[in-house]
Structure 1
Amino acid sequence: MRWGITGHRGLPAPVERLIRGELATQVQQHDGVDLIGVSCIADGPDAWFAEAVLEHGGRIEVVIPAEQYRDGLPENHHPTYDKLIAQAVEVHSTGMRESTAQAHMTGSEILVGLVDRLVVVRDGLPARGYGGTADVVAYARDMGVPVDVVWPAGASRA
């Protein structure tokens, strides 16, 4: 089973706890040996999902949207990013240099093309910018990739 992840970043700590619990529950429904998680390993759900897959005995593949992608992530996330990319069994790249909205969407398109299902941490609202979670969901659905939305009751982006 190859699962991808996309989702909102910058979620408050109480929502993080809810989402981490939901992601762990999703991952634990599958045999860890056969599970491959595909992620861009950004801060938030991307990294939380990758960590849950690894903790369950699965493997991860990483999609890097751009050479400068890591530099655009919060500095406090860099150690987690570095740890996860070091554990990846395969790394995919867009070949783009600058970490732009187009690079992020291209990375997401590559991710969607690699997976059987897409787990989405999303509140259901429109994307806040091109390449946002809603755009990735629309692309996955256009490509026929099943989408599993994770958004626990009581969760809010505010």
Structure 2
Amino acid sequence: MRVGITGHRGLGKQTEEMVKTALRRELEAFEPTELCIVSCIADGPDAWAAEAALDFGGRIEVVIPAVQYRQGLPKEHHATYDRLISIAAEVHETGMVESTDRAHMAGSEILVGLVDQLIAVWDGQPARGYGGTGDVVAYARSMGVPVTVVWPDGASRD
């Protein structure tokens, strides 16, 4: 079972803990040996879901939106990114170089095309920029990919 992950980055510490707990609860429903998380492994929900799947005995596949993608992630996340990509069962690339909104959406489109369902850590609001979580959810739904929204009571952005 391939499960994609998308979600808001930059969540506060309290929301982070609630989301991590909710993600683990969602992933516990899957048979660990059959679980594969497909993720762009950005800081936040992308990496949290990948790490949880690995903790449960699942595997991960990584989608890299652009050659320069890692450079655009927070420096403190680089070690986690490097570790996760090094143990990925497969790595998929868009072929784009610059880490732009267009590249991020292209990566998300590849991700959606690979999965049986999508988990979205999403507040239900429209994307703040092209390729944001709301856009990825809309794309997945338009492609007939089931979407499970994870947004715990009390969670907030900013």
Structural mapping, 1:113-128, within 5 Å:
113-128=113-128
Q: How many residues align?
A: 158
Q: Which residue of 2 aligns with 1:132?
A: 132
TM-score by length of 1: 0.99
Distance, in Å, in 2 between the alignment partners of 1:28 and 1:126 is 29
Q: Which residue of 1 aligns with 2:147?
A: 147
Identity %: 67
Structural mapping, 1:1-158, within 5 Å:
1-158=1-158
Distance, in Å, in 1 between the alignment partners of 2:18 and 2:139 is 26
Distance, in Å, in 2 between the alignment partners of 1:53 and 1:14 is 22
Gaps of 5+ in 1: none
Structure 1 runs (4+) greater than 4 angstroms displaced: none
Q: Deviations over 1:55-86 (max 9, x none)?
A: 00000000000000000000000000001001
Q: CA deviation at 1:15?
A: 0.4
The 3-state SS of whatever aligns with 1:61 is: strand
RMSD, aligned CA: 0.4
Distance, in Å, in 2 between the alignment partners of 1:18 and 1:128 is 22
The 3-state SS of whatever aligns with 1:118 is: strand
Distance, in Å, in 2 between the alignment partners of 1:11 and 1:27 is 20
Distance, in Å, in 1 between the alignment partners of 2:64 and 2:2 is 17
Q: CA deviation at 1:7?
A: 0.3
The 3-state SS of whatever aligns with 1:149 is: strand
Distance, in Å, in 1 between the alignment partners of 2:54 and 2:66 is 24
Distance, in Å, in 2 between the alignment partners of 1:29 and 1:131 is 28
